[in-house]
Amino acid sequence: MKKIMIIALLILAAVVSATVVAPMAADPANHRHSIEQTDDKIASVMALSGGAAATSATLSLLPGDICTPLSEQLAEMAKYFLLILSALYLEKFLISLSGYISFMALIPLALVILIIAIAARKKNLYSTAAKVAIMAVIIFGIVPASVRLSDMVYQTQAAKVNETIEEYNNLEIGGDADGGFINEITSLTSNTIDEITDFIDNLMESLAVMIVTACLIPLLVFVFLVWLLKVIFASNTVVFDKL
């Protein structure tokens, strides 16, 4: 009778995890802070990407080949910003998806394995159930932790990114046409090229910041997750076997 009651409680816990906890864990409203942080970085990347693309297009329309190298460099950076944007959107989706995976699939799976272990008296399955449950908790917490770590690093360089966006907003490409075509090109070369070059330098620094915070840190966290799960599932410690 005691065994039947324990199994019934475990079944109830699995149902509650899949039908109640999973929707709550996947609800974006419960991850508002992490999503807001990611949205802020998405807005910055979109501004930088649009600035690079728009400046490149403007330079490509100018007569002559004076600004062609700058235009090509900006166009290349715009591609990298689009890749970063894709990584940020993936991170945003995983914030909610990780909770759904943990409480809709992994926690119920761990409870089912535990039920089988109790019903069939297979003590070796206890450690498997414990490992699956630990994996669920790690997956649920690893994405928000990655977002928080990325944001901590990003905040140290956010002023540089905002400065670059402001610099683009104040950037004016054009020459003084009063002196004719030759004077316009000369004016463009002397007054604007330096500003564009400075903008590209700041844009490259902002690109490096975004690569580190949006790509490298989540990648390192993912590698750490894989290593940790490998250690957990390779572990045959006495603690697991006694659960």
SS3 3: helix
- Tokens 């690109």, located at residue: 207
The phi and psi torsions of 140 (rounded to 5 degrees) equal: -65, -35
Q: Which amino acid is at 140?
A: F
Length of the chain: 243
Residue 146's pLDDT is 85
Rg (the chain; Cα; Å): 27
Residue 173's pLDDT is 64
d(CA 158, CA 162): 6
Q: What is the pLDDT of residues 157-192, one digit of tens each?
A: 888 888 888 888 877 765 444 443 334 444 455 566
Residue 174's pLDDT is 54
pTM of the model: 0.75
Asked if 81 and 52 touch (Cβ cutoff 8 Å), the reply is yes
Residue 181's pLDDT is 36
Q: Which amino acid is at 194?
A: D
Intervals of the chain under pLDDT 50: 175-187, 237-243
First-residue to last-residue Cα distance in the chain = 21
Residue 124's pLDDT is 81
Number of Cβ atoms within 10 Å of the Cβ of 55: 24
Q: What is the pLDDT of residues 102-114, one digit of tens each?
A: 999 999 999 999 9
Q: What is the pLDDT of residues 194-213, one digit of tens each?
A: 777 788 888 888 889 889 98
Residue 66's pLDDT is 66
Token pair belonging to 99: 């909770």
Residue 17's pLDDT is 92
Distances (CA, A) of 217 to 38, 154, 226: 14, 11, 14
